[in-house]
Structure 1
Amino acid sequence: MRNQEGLQTLRDSLTYLPLWASERVMQQIHQLKNYEPVIGIMGKTGAGKSSLCNALFAGKVSPVSDVAACTREPLRFRLQVGEHYMTLVDLPGVGESGDRDTEYAALYREQLPRLDLVLWLIKADDRALAVDEHFYRQVIGEAYRHKVLFVISQSDKTEPTSGGERLSTEQKQNISRKICLLHVLFHPVHPVCAVSVRLQWGLRVMAERMVRSLPRVASSPMVAQLQRPFRTEQVKEKARSDFGETVGAALDMVCNVPLIPAPVRTVIRAVRDTVVSVARTVWDFFF
Protein backbone atom coordinates (compact mmCIF):
# COMPACT_ATOMS: atom_id res chain seq x y z
CA MET A 1 0.00 0.00 0.00
CA ARG A 2 2.77 2.44 0.99
CA ASN A 3 4.67 1.32 -2.08
CA GLN A 4 1.79 2.37 -4.35
CA GLU A 5 1.37 5.61 -2.42
CA GLY A 6 5.04 6.44 -2.97
CA LEU A 7 4.81 5.66 -6.68
CA GLN A 8 1.74 7.85 -7.05
CA THR A 9 3.49 10.74 -5.28
CA LEU A 10 6.40 10.44 -7.70
CA ARG A 11 4.04 10.21 -10.66
CA ASP A 12 2.29 13.38 -9.47
CA SER A 13 5.65 15.21 -9.43
CA LEU A 14 6.03 14.39 -13.14
CA THR A 15 2.65 15.74 -14.26
CA TYR A 16 4.21 18.67 -16.14
CA LEU A 17 6.11 16.29 -18.44
CA PRO A 18 4.71 14.78 -21.62
CA LEU A 19 3.20 11.34 -20.98
CA TRP A 20 5.97 9.50 -22.86
CA ALA A 21 8.66 11.23 -20.76
CA SER A 22 6.80 10.61 -17.50
CA GLU A 23 6.33 6.93 -18.34
CA ARG A 24 10.00 6.52 -19.22
CA VAL A 25 11.08 8.03 -15.88
CA MET A 26 8.57 5.86 -13.97
CA GLN A 27 9.94 2.79 -15.73
CA GLN A 28 13.42 3.72 -14.47
CA ILE A 29 12.05 4.23 -10.95
CA HIS A 30 10.43 0.77 -11.00
CA GLN A 31 13.79 -0.73 -11.97
CA LEU A 32 15.52 1.20 -9.20
CA LYS A 33 13.24 0.07 -6.41
CA ASN A 34 13.43 -3.54 -7.62
CA TYR A 35 17.19 -3.62 -8.17
CA GLU A 36 18.90 -6.72 -6.72
CA PRO A 37 22.44 -6.03 -5.46
CA VAL A 38 25.05 -8.75 -5.87
CA ILE A 39 27.74 -8.79 -3.18
CA GLY A 40 30.74 -11.10 -3.24
CA ILE A 41 32.33 -12.21 0.01
CA MET A 42 35.76 -13.80 0.07
CA GLY A 43 38.21 -14.98 2.71
CA LYS A 44 40.28 -17.95 3.71
CA THR A 45 38.71 -20.89 5.53
CA GLY A 46 37.74 -19.84 9.04
CA ALA A 47 37.55 -16.12 8.24
CA GLY A 48 33.95 -16.07 9.47
CA LYS A 49 32.07 -15.29 6.25
CA SER A 50 28.83 -17.01 7.26
CA SER A 51 28.72 -15.62 10.79
CA LEU A 52 29.37 -12.08 9.51
CA CYS A 53 26.59 -12.31 6.92
CA ASN A 54 24.19 -13.73 9.51
CA ALA A 55 25.04 -10.89 11.88
CA LEU A 56 24.60 -8.14 9.27
CA PHE A 57 21.66 -9.25 7.17
CA ALA A 58 18.08 -10.03 8.13
CA GLY A 59 16.96 -11.59 4.85
CA LYS A 60 15.63 -15.11 4.53
CA VAL A 61 18.42 -17.07 2.81
CA SER A 62 17.90 -19.47 -0.11
CA PRO A 63 20.79 -21.25 -1.90
CA VAL A 64 20.55 -20.63 -5.64
CA SER A 65 23.47 -22.75 -6.82
CA ASP A 66 25.40 -25.81 -5.73
CA VAL A 67 29.18 -25.35 -5.64
CA ALA A 68 29.65 -29.13 -5.84
CA ALA A 69 27.96 -29.18 -9.23
CA CYS A 70 30.60 -26.99 -10.84
CA THR A 71 33.88 -26.00 -9.24
CA ARG A 72 34.12 -22.95 -11.51
CA GLU A 73 30.88 -21.51 -10.14
CA PRO A 74 30.89 -20.11 -6.58
CA LEU A 75 28.06 -20.75 -4.16
CA ARG A 76 25.30 -18.16 -4.39
CA PHE A 77 22.64 -17.28 -1.83
CA ARG A 78 19.57 -15.12 -2.40
CA LEU A 79 18.32 -13.03 0.52
CA GLN A 80 14.74 -11.76 0.75
CA VAL A 81 13.19 -9.09 2.96
CA GLY A 82 9.63 -8.31 1.89
CA GLU A 83 9.72 -7.50 -1.81
CA HIS A 84 13.48 -6.86 -1.85
CA TYR A 85 16.17 -9.34 -2.88
CA MET A 86 19.94 -9.44 -2.71
CA THR A 87 22.45 -12.10 -3.76
CA LEU A 88 25.56 -13.08 -1.80
CA VAL A 89 28.28 -14.81 -3.80
CA ASP A 90 30.62 -16.96 -1.69
CA LEU A 91 33.99 -16.59 -3.41
CA PRO A 92 36.91 -18.91 -2.57
CA GLY A 93 39.76 -17.52 -0.50
CA VAL A 94 43.13 -17.32 -2.19
CA GLY A 95 46.41 -18.70 -0.93
CA GLU A 96 45.09 -21.97 0.47
CA SER A 97 45.94 -24.05 -2.60
CA GLY A 98 48.59 -23.04 -5.12
CA ASP A 99 47.10 -25.45 -7.64
CA ARG A 100 43.72 -23.79 -7.36
CA ASP A 101 44.82 -20.13 -7.37
CA THR A 102 45.11 -20.05 -11.17
CA GLU A 103 41.58 -21.46 -11.41
CA TYR A 104 40.38 -18.93 -8.83
CA ALA A 105 41.93 -16.07 -10.79
CA ALA A 106 39.88 -17.05 -13.85
CA LEU A 107 36.77 -17.38 -11.69
CA TYR A 108 37.25 -13.89 -10.20
CA ARG A 109 37.82 -12.30 -13.58
CA GLU A 110 34.54 -13.84 -14.69
CA GLN A 111 32.61 -12.79 -11.59
CA LEU A 112 33.93 -9.28 -10.87
CA PRO A 113 31.97 -7.46 -13.62
CA ARG A 114 28.72 -8.87 -12.16
CA LEU A 115 29.37 -7.80 -8.55
CA ASP A 116 28.37 -4.52 -6.95
CA LEU A 117 30.80 -4.98 -4.06
CA VAL A 118 33.34 -7.51 -2.75
CA LEU A 119 33.81 -7.94 1.01
CA TRP A 120 37.38 -9.19 1.37
CA LEU A 121 37.73 -10.75 4.82
CA ILE A 122 41.17 -11.04 6.40
CA LYS A 123 41.41 -12.66 9.81
CA ALA A 124 42.82 -10.43 12.51
CA ASP A 125 45.48 -13.04 13.34
CA ASP A 126 46.41 -13.80 9.71
CA ARG A 127 49.95 -12.65 8.96
CA ALA A 128 50.42 -14.47 5.63
CA LEU A 129 49.22 -11.75 3.26
CA ALA A 130 51.74 -11.98 0.40
CA VAL A 131 49.42 -14.13 -1.73
CA ASP A 132 46.48 -11.80 -1.02
CA GLU A 133 48.56 -8.81 -2.07
CA HIS A 134 49.69 -10.50 -5.30
CA PHE A 135 46.14 -11.62 -6.14
CA TYR A 136 44.77 -8.13 -5.44
CA ARG A 137 47.27 -6.50 -7.80
CA GLN A 138 47.16 -9.09 -10.58
CA VAL A 139 43.47 -10.05 -10.61
CA ILE A 140 41.50 -7.21 -9.00
CA GLY A 141 43.75 -4.58 -10.56
CA GLU A 142 42.86 -0.96 -11.19
CA ALA A 143 39.59 -1.82 -12.94
CA TYR A 144 37.87 -3.26 -9.87
CA ARG A 145 39.65 -1.74 -6.85
CA HIS A 146 36.60 0.45 -6.23
CA LYS A 147 34.49 -2.68 -5.70
CA VAL A 148 36.58 -4.06 -2.81
CA LEU A 149 35.92 -3.36 0.88
CA PHE A 150 38.56 -4.93 3.13
CA VAL A 151 37.28 -6.28 6.45
CA ILE A 152 39.46 -7.43 9.33
CA SER A 153 37.36 -10.22 10.81
CA GLN A 154 37.42 -11.85 14.25
CA SER A 155 39.04 -8.80 15.81
CA ASP A 156 38.56 -10.36 19.25
CA LYS A 157 41.37 -12.78 18.30
CA THR A 158 43.84 -9.91 18.04
CA GLU A 159 46.73 -10.26 20.50
CA PRO A 160 46.78 -10.10 23.45
CA THR A 161 43.64 -12.27 23.55
CA SER A 162 41.68 -12.57 26.76
CA GLY A 163 38.37 -14.15 25.73
CA GLY A 164 36.59 -11.29 27.46
CA GLU A 165 33.42 -9.50 26.44
CA ARG A 166 35.15 -6.36 25.21
CA LEU A 167 38.33 -5.47 23.37
CA SER A 168 41.25 -4.29 25.48
CA THR A 169 43.10 -1.05 24.78
CA GLU A 170 46.08 -3.11 23.58
CA GLN A 171 43.89 -5.06 21.17
CA LYS A 172 42.39 -1.88 19.74
CA GLN A 173 45.89 -0.47 19.24
CA ASN A 174 46.97 -3.63 17.40
CA ILE A 175 43.82 -3.55 15.29
CA SER A 176 44.68 0.04 14.31
CA ARG A 177 48.16 -1.15 13.30
CA LYS A 178 46.61 -3.94 11.21
CA ILE A 179 44.34 -1.42 9.47
CA CYS A 180 47.36 0.75 8.68
CA LEU A 181 49.23 -2.30 7.35
CA LEU A 182 46.38 -3.17 4.98
CA HIS A 183 46.26 0.41 3.73
CA VAL A 184 50.00 0.25 3.01
CA LEU A 185 49.81 -3.17 1.29
CA PHE A 186 46.65 -2.69 -0.76
CA HIS A 187 46.08 1.08 -1.07
CA PRO A 188 42.33 0.44 -0.97
CA VAL A 189 39.77 2.88 -2.33
CA HIS A 190 37.54 2.49 0.73
CA PRO A 191 38.60 2.65 4.40
CA VAL A 192 39.38 -0.76 5.94
CA CYS A 193 36.79 -2.08 8.43
CA ALA A 194 37.44 -4.17 11.54
CA VAL A 195 34.72 -6.28 13.18
CA SER A 196 34.06 -8.92 15.79
CA VAL A 197 30.81 -10.81 15.39
CA ARG A 198 31.25 -12.48 18.79
CA LEU A 199 31.45 -9.10 20.53
CA GLN A 200 29.06 -7.34 18.09
CA TRP A 201 31.85 -4.80 17.61
CA GLY A 202 32.42 -2.70 14.50
CA LEU A 203 29.34 -3.96 12.65
CA ARG A 204 27.53 -0.62 12.61
CA VAL A 205 30.56 1.15 11.15
CA MET A 206 30.91 -1.62 8.57
CA ALA A 207 27.27 -1.23 7.50
CA GLU A 208 27.88 2.50 6.98
CA ARG A 209 31.04 1.79 4.98
CA MET A 210 29.19 -0.73 2.82
CA VAL A 211 26.43 1.69 1.87
CA ARG A 212 29.08 4.31 0.99
CA SER A 213 31.06 1.81 -1.09
CA LEU A 214 28.16 0.50 -3.17
CA PRO A 215 27.00 1.99 -6.48
CA ARG A 216 24.11 4.39 -5.94
CA VAL A 217 21.64 2.03 -7.56
CA ALA A 218 22.50 -0.74 -5.05
CA SER A 219 22.63 1.07 -1.72
CA SER A 220 18.89 1.29 -0.95
CA PRO A 221 18.02 -2.37 -1.62
CA MET A 222 21.10 -3.41 0.41
CA VAL A 223 19.93 -1.27 3.34
CA ALA A 224 16.58 -3.08 3.17
CA GLN A 225 18.48 -6.32 3.94
CA LEU A 226 20.31 -5.02 7.03
CA GLN A 227 19.43 -6.05 10.56
CA ARG A 228 17.52 -3.23 12.29
CA PRO A 229 20.38 -2.06 14.58
CA PHE A 230 22.49 -1.29 11.51
CA ARG A 231 19.85 0.74 9.69
CA THR A 232 21.17 3.90 11.33
CA GLU A 233 20.14 7.41 10.35
CA GLN A 234 23.50 7.86 8.59
CA VAL A 235 22.93 4.67 6.58
CA LYS A 236 19.38 5.60 5.65
CA GLU A 237 20.30 9.18 4.76
CA LYS A 238 23.06 8.01 2.38
CA ALA A 239 20.70 5.50 0.72
CA ARG A 240 17.94 8.12 0.54
CA SER A 241 20.32 10.57 -1.13
CA ASP A 242 21.53 7.89 -3.57
CA PHE A 243 17.95 7.04 -4.52
CA GLY A 244 17.11 10.69 -5.16
CA GLU A 245 20.21 11.25 -7.28
CA THR A 246 19.56 8.07 -9.27
CA VAL A 247 16.03 9.26 -10.02
CA GLY A 248 17.62 12.55 -11.07
CA ALA A 249 19.95 10.62 -13.39
CA ALA A 250 16.87 8.96 -14.94
CA LEU A 251 15.48 12.41 -15.70
CA ASP A 252 18.82 13.42 -17.20
CA MET A 253 18.71 10.38 -19.49
CA VAL A 254 15.28 11.40 -20.77
CA CYS A 255 16.49 14.99 -21.16
CA ASN A 256 19.35 13.78 -23.37
CA VAL A 257 17.16 11.72 -25.71
CA PRO A 258 18.12 12.75 -29.28
CA LEU A 259 15.72 15.11 -31.06
CA ILE A 260 13.75 15.85 -27.88
CA PRO A 261 11.91 19.18 -28.33
CA ALA A 262 13.64 22.10 -26.61
CA PRO A 263 10.52 23.09 -24.58
CA VAL A 264 10.32 19.55 -23.14
CA ARG A 265 14.01 19.64 -22.23
CA THR A 266 13.43 22.96 -20.48
CA VAL A 267 10.52 21.53 -18.45
CA ILE A 268 12.55 18.47 -17.41
CA ARG A 269 15.38 20.67 -16.17
CA ALA A 270 12.89 22.88 -14.32
CA VAL A 271 11.28 20.00 -12.40
CA ARG A 272 14.42 17.92 -11.80
CA ASP A 273 15.26 19.22 -8.33
CA THR A 274 11.64 18.90 -7.22
CA VAL A 275 11.39 15.30 -8.42
CA VAL A 276 14.70 14.41 -6.69
CA SER A 277 13.40 15.96 -3.46
CA VAL A 278 10.15 13.99 -3.73
CA ALA A 279 12.11 10.76 -4.35
CA ARG A 280 14.11 11.33 -1.18
CA THR A 281 10.89 12.03 0.75
CA VAL A 282 9.14 8.81 -0.32
CA TRP A 283 12.24 6.57 0.11
CA ASP A 284 10.79 5.05 3.30
CA PHE A 285 7.69 3.98 1.35
CA PHE A 286 9.87 1.64 -0.73
CA PHE A 287 12.71 0.57 1.55
Structure 2
Amino acid sequence: MNNPRGLQPLNHSLSGLPQWVSERILQQINQLTHYEPVIGIMGKTGAGKSSLCNALFAGSISPVSDVAACTRDPLRFRLQVGERFMTIVDLPGVGESGARDNEYAALYRGQLPRLDLVLWLIKADDRALVTDEHFYQQVIGEAYRHKVLFVISQSDKAEPGSGGDKLSTEQKQNISRKICLLHELFQPVHPVCAISVRLQWRVRVMAEQMIKCLPREASSPVVAQLQCPFRTEQVKEQARDDFGETVGVVLDTVIAFPLIPAPVRAIIQAVRTTVVSVARAVWDFFF
Protein backbone atom coordinates (compact mmCIF):
# COMPACT_ATOMS: atom_id res chain seq x y z
CA MET A 1 0.00 0.00 0.00
CA ASN A 2 1.59 3.24 -1.08
CA ASN A 3 0.05 5.63 1.47
CA PRO A 4 1.59 5.22 4.93
CA ARG A 5 -0.62 7.97 6.45
CA GLY A 6 -3.69 5.97 5.51
CA LEU A 7 -2.07 2.62 6.21
CA GLN A 8 -0.95 3.31 9.78
CA PRO A 9 -4.44 3.75 11.35
CA LEU A 10 -5.76 0.71 9.45
CA ASN A 11 -2.78 -1.35 10.56
CA HIS A 12 -3.35 -0.24 14.14
CA SER A 13 -7.04 -1.23 14.00
CA LEU A 14 -5.93 -4.75 12.98
CA SER A 15 -3.15 -5.03 15.60
CA GLY A 16 -4.92 -7.74 17.62
CA LEU A 17 -4.73 -10.19 14.71
CA PRO A 18 -1.92 -12.56 13.70
CA GLN A 19 0.46 -10.80 11.32
CA TRP A 20 -0.33 -13.07 8.36
CA VAL A 21 -4.05 -12.32 8.72
CA SER A 22 -3.62 -8.55 8.99
CA GLU A 23 -1.23 -8.59 6.02
CA ARG A 24 -3.79 -10.50 3.95
CA ILE A 25 -6.49 -7.97 4.85
CA LEU A 26 -4.25 -4.98 4.11
CA GLN A 27 -3.25 -6.51 0.78
CA GLN A 28 -6.91 -6.78 -0.25
CA ILE A 29 -7.62 -3.21 0.91
CA ASN A 30 -4.63 -2.12 -1.17
CA GLN A 31 -6.23 -3.74 -4.22
CA LEU A 32 -9.41 -1.80 -3.49
CA THR A 33 -7.57 1.52 -3.46
CA HIS A 34 -6.08 0.71 -6.89
CA TYR A 35 -9.27 -0.52 -8.53
CA GLU A 36 -9.52 0.70 -12.16
CA PRO A 37 -13.14 1.47 -13.07
CA VAL A 38 -14.46 0.94 -16.58
CA ILE A 39 -17.33 3.17 -17.73
CA GLY A 40 -19.10 2.74 -21.05
CA ILE A 41 -20.59 5.78 -22.74
CA MET A 42 -23.05 5.31 -25.57
CA GLY A 43 -25.14 7.56 -27.77
CA LYS A 44 -25.79 8.44 -31.37
CA THR A 45 -23.42 10.62 -33.35
CA GLY A 46 -23.52 14.16 -31.99
CA ALA A 47 -24.97 13.18 -28.60
CA GLY A 48 -22.05 14.93 -26.89
CA LYS A 49 -20.11 11.98 -25.47
CA SER A 50 -16.71 13.67 -25.75
CA SER A 51 -18.01 16.95 -24.35
CA LEU A 52 -19.45 15.22 -21.30
CA CYS A 53 -16.25 13.23 -20.63
CA ASN A 54 -14.12 16.37 -20.97
CA ALA A 55 -16.44 18.25 -18.61
CA LEU A 56 -16.57 15.51 -15.96
CA PHE A 57 -13.09 14.08 -15.80
CA ALA A 58 -9.76 15.70 -14.99
CA GLY A 59 -7.45 12.96 -16.22
CA SER A 60 -5.29 13.18 -19.30
CA ILE A 61 -6.83 10.93 -21.95
CA SER A 62 -4.92 8.49 -24.14
CA PRO A 63 -6.46 6.08 -26.68
CA VAL A 64 -6.00 2.42 -25.77
CA SER A 65 -7.36 0.95 -29.00
CA ASP A 66 -6.73 1.90 -32.61
CA VAL A 67 -8.89 4.80 -33.84
CA ALA A 68 -9.56 2.77 -36.98
CA ALA A 69 -10.77 -0.24 -34.97
CA CYS A 70 -13.72 -2.20 -36.27
CA THR A 71 -17.08 -1.95 -34.50
CA ARG A 72 -16.44 -5.25 -32.70
CA ASP A 73 -13.59 -3.56 -30.85
CA PRO A 74 -15.00 -0.30 -29.44
CA LEU A 75 -12.70 2.61 -28.79
CA ARG A 76 -11.17 2.56 -25.32
CA PHE A 77 -9.58 5.56 -23.65
CA ARG A 78 -7.52 5.47 -20.46
CA LEU A 79 -7.71 8.42 -18.07
CA GLN A 80 -4.89 9.13 -15.68
CA VAL A 81 -4.76 11.36 -12.60
CA GLY A 82 -1.45 10.89 -10.78
CA GLU A 83 -1.06 7.15 -10.30
CA ARG A 84 -4.77 6.46 -10.79
CA PHE A 85 -6.35 5.08 -13.96
CA MET A 86 -9.84 4.69 -15.34
CA THR A 87 -11.06 3.43 -18.71
CA ILE A 88 -13.80 4.95 -20.85
CA VAL A 89 -15.29 2.63 -23.48
CA ASP A 90 -16.89 4.53 -26.36
CA LEU A 91 -19.85 2.41 -27.43
CA PRO A 92 -21.68 3.08 -30.73
CA GLY A 93 -25.22 4.43 -30.57
CA VAL A 94 -27.97 2.25 -31.97
CA GLY A 95 -30.60 3.18 -34.54
CA GLU A 96 -28.32 4.95 -36.97
CA SER A 97 -27.61 1.89 -39.10
CA GLY A 98 -30.07 -0.98 -39.07
CA ALA A 99 -27.52 -3.19 -40.80
CA ARG A 100 -25.09 -2.71 -37.95
CA ASP A 101 -27.47 -2.96 -34.99
CA ASN A 102 -27.15 -6.76 -34.88
CA GLU A 103 -23.39 -6.39 -34.82
CA TYR A 104 -23.70 -3.80 -32.04
CA ALA A 105 -25.87 -6.23 -30.06
CA ALA A 106 -23.05 -8.79 -30.11
CA LEU A 107 -20.56 -6.09 -29.16
CA TYR A 108 -22.62 -4.95 -26.17
CA ARG A 109 -23.21 -8.47 -24.93
CA GLY A 110 -19.45 -8.94 -24.88
CA GLN A 111 -18.77 -5.61 -23.13
CA LEU A 112 -21.54 -5.34 -20.52
CA PRO A 113 -20.13 -7.87 -18.02
CA ARG A 114 -16.86 -5.88 -17.90
CA LEU A 115 -18.40 -2.43 -17.41
CA ASP A 116 -19.06 -0.83 -14.03
CA LEU A 117 -21.61 1.58 -15.54
CA VAL A 118 -23.03 2.69 -18.90
CA LEU A 119 -23.89 6.34 -19.45
CA TRP A 120 -26.58 6.20 -22.17
CA LEU A 121 -26.81 9.63 -23.77
CA ILE A 122 -30.00 10.58 -25.60
CA LYS A 123 -30.17 14.01 -27.23
CA ALA A 124 -32.92 16.26 -25.95
CA ASP A 125 -34.22 16.73 -29.50
CA ASP A 126 -33.99 13.03 -30.50
CA ARG A 127 -37.48 11.63 -31.16
CA ALA A 128 -36.43 8.35 -32.82
CA LEU A 129 -36.29 6.07 -29.80
CA VAL A 130 -38.01 2.90 -31.06
CA THR A 131 -34.69 1.17 -31.85
CA ASP A 132 -33.21 2.30 -28.53
CA GLU A 133 -36.18 0.83 -26.67
CA HIS A 134 -35.94 -2.49 -28.55
CA PHE A 135 -32.18 -2.66 -27.98
CA TYR A 136 -32.59 -1.92 -24.28
CA GLN A 137 -35.16 -4.69 -23.83
CA GLN A 138 -33.36 -7.30 -25.95
CA VAL A 139 -29.69 -6.64 -25.18
CA ILE A 140 -29.49 -4.84 -21.83
CA GLY A 141 -32.37 -6.83 -20.38
CA GLU A 142 -32.93 -7.54 -16.70
CA ALA A 143 -29.33 -8.65 -16.12
CA TYR A 144 -27.71 -5.26 -16.79
CA ARG A 145 -30.46 -2.67 -16.26
CA HIS A 146 -28.79 -1.65 -13.00
CA LYS A 147 -25.66 -0.69 -14.94
CA VAL A 148 -27.38 1.92 -17.14
CA LEU A 149 -27.75 5.61 -16.29
CA PHE A 150 -29.82 7.48 -18.88
CA VAL A 151 -28.66 11.04 -19.58
CA ILE A 152 -30.65 13.50 -21.69
CA SER A 153 -27.85 15.50 -23.28
CA GLN A 154 -27.80 18.92 -24.95
CA SER A 155 -30.85 20.11 -23.04
CA ASP A 156 -30.21 23.61 -24.39
CA LYS A 157 -31.33 22.26 -27.79
CA ALA A 158 -34.74 21.20 -26.50
CA GLU A 159 -37.70 22.90 -28.20
CA PRO A 160 -38.26 25.79 -28.41
CA GLY A 161 -34.52 26.45 -28.90
CA SER A 162 -33.33 29.93 -28.00
CA GLY A 163 -29.54 29.66 -28.17
CA GLY A 164 -29.37 31.79 -25.03
CA ASP A 165 -27.27 31.35 -21.91
CA LYS A 166 -30.00 29.67 -19.89
CA LEU A 167 -32.90 27.31 -20.46
CA SER A 168 -36.35 28.80 -20.94
CA THR A 169 -39.33 27.70 -18.87
CA GLU A 170 -40.78 26.00 -21.98
CA GLN A 171 -37.55 24.09 -22.55
CA LYS A 172 -37.51 22.88 -18.95
CA GLN A 173 -41.12 21.74 -19.28
CA ASN A 174 -40.31 19.80 -22.45
CA ILE A 175 -37.29 18.23 -20.77
CA SER A 176 -39.52 17.13 -17.87
CA ARG A 177 -41.82 15.49 -20.43
CA LYS A 178 -38.82 13.80 -22.03
CA ILE A 179 -37.73 12.43 -18.64
CA CYS A 180 -41.25 11.02 -18.12
CA LEU A 181 -41.16 9.49 -21.61
CA LEU A 182 -37.83 7.74 -20.92
CA HIS A 183 -39.17 6.39 -17.63
CA GLU A 184 -42.20 5.07 -19.51
CA LEU A 185 -40.19 3.51 -22.37
CA PHE A 186 -37.26 2.07 -20.46
CA GLN A 187 -38.44 1.77 -16.85
CA PRO A 188 -34.87 2.49 -15.72
CA VAL A 189 -33.47 1.45 -12.37
CA HIS A 190 -31.90 4.87 -11.76
CA PRO A 191 -33.40 8.36 -12.12
CA VAL A 192 -33.01 9.88 -15.60
CA CYS A 193 -30.60 12.85 -15.65
CA ALA A 194 -30.90 15.87 -17.96
CA ILE A 195 -27.88 18.09 -18.62
CA SER A 196 -26.43 20.80 -20.80
CA VAL A 197 -22.65 20.74 -20.89
CA ARG A 198 -22.59 24.03 -22.86
CA LEU A 199 -24.52 25.82 -20.12
CA GLN A 200 -23.09 23.68 -17.26
CA TRP A 201 -26.71 22.96 -16.36
CA ARG A 202 -27.26 20.10 -13.88
CA VAL A 203 -23.94 18.43 -14.72
CA ARG A 204 -23.06 18.41 -11.02
CA VAL A 205 -26.38 16.69 -10.20
CA MET A 206 -25.63 14.12 -12.91
CA ALA A 207 -22.13 13.51 -11.47
CA GLU A 208 -23.64 12.90 -8.01
CA GLN A 209 -26.14 10.45 -9.48
CA MET A 210 -23.37 8.66 -11.40
CA ILE A 211 -21.39 8.07 -8.19
CA LYS A 212 -24.52 6.63 -6.52
CA CYS A 213 -25.05 4.23 -9.44
CA LEU A 214 -21.53 2.82 -9.47
CA PRO A 215 -20.59 -0.43 -7.71
CA ARG A 216 -19.14 0.30 -4.26
CA GLU A 217 -15.59 -0.65 -5.26
CA ALA A 218 -15.69 1.75 -8.24
CA SER A 219 -17.10 4.95 -6.72
CA SER A 220 -13.97 6.19 -4.91
CA PRO A 221 -11.61 5.66 -7.89
CA VAL A 222 -14.09 7.51 -10.14
CA VAL A 223 -14.37 10.39 -7.65
CA ALA A 224 -10.57 10.66 -7.85
CA GLN A 225 -10.93 11.28 -11.61
CA LEU A 226 -13.61 14.00 -11.36
CA GLN A 227 -12.97 17.67 -12.06
CA CYS A 228 -12.83 19.67 -8.81
CA PRO A 229 -16.31 21.30 -9.08
CA PHE A 230 -17.88 17.84 -9.12
CA ARG A 231 -16.01 16.52 -6.08
CA THR A 232 -18.80 17.81 -3.86
CA GLU A 233 -19.23 16.90 -0.19
CA GLN A 234 -22.19 14.71 -1.17
CA VAL A 235 -20.07 12.85 -3.72
CA LYS A 236 -17.19 12.36 -1.28
CA GLU A 237 -19.53 11.22 1.50
CA GLN A 238 -21.05 8.60 -0.80
CA ALA A 239 -17.58 7.38 -1.80
CA ARG A 240 -16.42 7.25 1.85
CA ASP A 241 -19.41 5.13 2.79
CA ASP A 242 -18.84 2.84 -0.18
CA PHE A 243 -15.16 2.43 0.68
CA GLY A 244 -16.02 1.57 4.28
CA GLU A 245 -18.56 -1.01 3.10
CA THR A 246 -16.08 -2.62 0.70
CA VAL A 247 -13.50 -2.87 3.49
CA GLY A 248 -16.19 -4.53 5.60
CA VAL A 249 -16.76 -7.05 2.79
CA VAL A 250 -13.00 -7.77 2.76
CA LEU A 251 -13.18 -8.65 6.47
CA ASP A 252 -16.27 -10.80 5.91
CA THR A 253 -14.45 -12.67 3.15
CA VAL A 254 -11.49 -13.37 5.43
CA ILE A 255 -13.84 -14.50 8.23
CA ALA A 256 -15.39 -17.00 5.80
CA PHE A 257 -11.97 -18.38 4.78
CA PRO A 258 -11.92 -22.06 5.92
CA LEU A 259 -8.35 -21.99 7.27
CA ILE A 260 -8.97 -19.10 9.68
CA PRO A 261 -9.05 -20.43 13.29
CA ALA A 262 -12.26 -19.74 15.22
CA PRO A 263 -10.59 -17.43 17.82
CA VAL A 264 -9.15 -15.28 14.99
CA ARG A 265 -12.57 -15.10 13.34
CA ALA A 266 -14.00 -13.86 16.61
CA ILE A 267 -11.36 -11.10 16.80
CA ILE A 268 -12.03 -9.98 13.19
CA GLN A 269 -15.76 -9.91 13.93
CA ALA A 270 -15.11 -7.85 17.08
CA VAL A 271 -12.99 -5.21 15.30
CA ARG A 272 -15.06 -5.07 12.07
CA THR A 273 -17.03 -1.94 13.02
CA THR A 274 -13.85 -0.13 14.11
CA VAL A 275 -11.94 -1.05 10.93
CA VAL A 276 -14.84 0.14 8.71
CA SER A 277 -14.98 3.40 10.66
CA VAL A 278 -11.20 3.89 10.30
CA ALA A 279 -11.43 3.16 6.55
CA ARG A 280 -13.99 5.95 6.17
CA ALA A 281 -11.83 8.30 8.23
CA VAL A 282 -8.65 7.74 6.14
CA TRP A 283 -10.48 7.87 2.76
CA ASP A 284 -8.96 11.27 1.88
CA PHE A 285 -5.41 9.87 2.17
CA PHE A 286 -6.13 7.35 -0.55
CA PHE A 287 -8.50 9.24 -2.86
Establish whether TM, by shorter chain, passes 0.5: yes
Instruction: Give 1:69 shift.
Output: 3.4
Instruction: Give 1:85 shift.
Output: 0.7
Name the residue aligned to 1:195.
195
Name the residue aligned to 2:177.
177
2:257 maps to 1:262: no
One-letter amino acid of the structure 2 residue matched with residue 221 of structure 1: P
Gaps of 5+ in 1: none
Name the residue aligned to 2:64.
64
2:87 maps to 1:81: no
Could you report, residue by residue, the CA deviation over 1:12-55 in whole angstroms, capped at 9, with x for unpaired residues?
11111111211111111111000000000000000000001000
C-alpha RMSD of matched pairs (Å): 1.1
Instruction: Give 1:259 shift.
Output: 4.1
Q: In 1, Cα distance between the equivalents of 2:67 and 2:17?
A: 49
Instruction: Give 1:67 shift.
Output: 4.1
Q: In 1, Cα distance between the equivalents of 2:211 and 2:93?
A: 23
Query: What TM-score comes out, normalization by structure 2 length?
Result: 0.98
Name the residue aligned to 2:213.
213
One-letter amino acid of the structure 2 residue matched with residue 5 of structure 1: R
Name the residue aligned to 1:225.
225
CA contact (8 A) 2:71 2:104 kept: no
One-letter amino acid of the structure 2 residue matched with residue 184 of structure 1: E
Instruction: Give 1:260 shift.
Output: 2.3
Name the residue aligned to 1:141.
141
Instruction: Give 1:71 shift.
Output: 3.0
* Alignment: residue pair count: 287
Could you report, residue by residue, the CA deviation over 1:163-193 in whole angstroms, capped at 9, with x for unpaired residues?
1111111111111110011001000001000
Name the residue aligned to 2:11.
11
Name the residue aligned to 1:276.
276
Instruction: Give 1:2 shift.
Output: 8.6
Q: In 2, Cα distance between the equivalents of 1:30 and 1:51?
A: 33
Q: In 2, Cα distance between the equivalents of 1:101 and 1:181?
A: 23
One-letter amino acid of the structure 2 residue matched with residue 243 of structure 1: F
2:27 maps to 1:34: no
Could you report, residue by residue, the CA deviation over 1:85-144 in whole angstroms, capped at 9, with x for unpaired residues?
100000000000011001000000000000000000000000000000000000000000
CA contact (8 A) 2:112 2:144 kept: yes
Instruction: Give 1:68 shift.
Output: 1.5
Instruction: Give 1:258 shift.
Output: 1.1
Matched position secondary structure for 2:125: coil
CA contact (8 A) 2:71 2:107 kept: no
Matched position secondary structure for 1:68: coil
Greater CA drift, 246-255 or 261-270: 261-270
Gaps of 5+ in 2: none
One-letter amino acid of the structure 2 residue matched with residue 58 of structure 1: A
Matched position secondary structure for 2:68: helix
